[in-house]
Amino acid sequence: MKLIIQIGAIALITYLLMQVFPWWTIVIVPFLVSLAANEKGGRSFLAGFTGIFLLWFVHTWVISMQSGSLMTQKIAALFGLPNTFLLMIITALIGGLCGGLGAWSGFHARALFAGK
């Protein structure tokens, strides 16, 4: 339950802040959330990864629903990918990795401050 709340908090806060701040918000927010939540290392990574993965994936999905995805198709071709779905997955994975590492760093920062 706590994990789901964390994932939700990361996704929601990141979504709001990304209206203003650049892409690296997806590292900072999970870092801070994980710093605040007293969570184990592995679970913090999972929360950060999942929160950002979902946020980015859903957003690319919304864009592909709303547009003709002409640009997405061309960028997929440029990257040598067979379809746009794979580009959505890769985008979400890179986002997820950043989110996960951010959250995991938050856990370790907390450990450092706590002097453990």
| Residue 32 in the binding site for other proteins (CB under 8 A) | no
Residue span binding other proteins (CB under 8 A) among the ranges 1-9, 32-40, 100-108: 100-108
Neighbours of 59 (CB within 10 A): 16
Q: Does 98 bind other proteins (CB under 8 A)?
A: yes
DSSP 83: -
**CA-CA distances (angstroms) from residue 34 to 19, 24, 83?**
22, 16, 35
Residues that bind other proteins (CB under 8 A): 18-19, 22-24, 26-27, 31, 56, 59-60, 63-64, 66-75, 77-78, 90-91, 94-95, 97-98, 101-102, 104-105, 108-109, 111-112, 116
